[in-house]
Structure 1
Amino acid sequence: MAEFFLTYVVPPLIIAAQSLAMLVGLLIVIAYLLLFDRKIWAAVQMRRGPN
């Protein structure tokens, strides 16, 4: 039973965990890039005026 578990259950779980970690990391990077992009465009659009 342990051999079956180590052969057929553990490797797919490791692959799934690695894929999930890569996906979460990618989503975090995209979120920060969007944040910085919005901050840059907000700074570009700052206007001096009566408001």
Structure 2
Amino acid sequence: MSKHASYGKRFQAQGSKTVLPRYERIAILKKEGRMDKDSRKVTGLPKTRA
């Protein structure tokens, strides 16, 4: 059985990520001044651009 062509290296080295980890999102929000220091919610972080 052969592998599908989409499993090749061409798709693995795509470049930029589309989803950021939580700690990267928090760092971006702090840099932009959109992170509230009073609000320490586990869920519901605002969306950021990757």
TM exceeding 0.5:
no
TM-score, normalization: structure 1?
0.26
More helix by share: 1
TM-score, normalization: structure 2?
0.26
Larger radius of gyration: 1
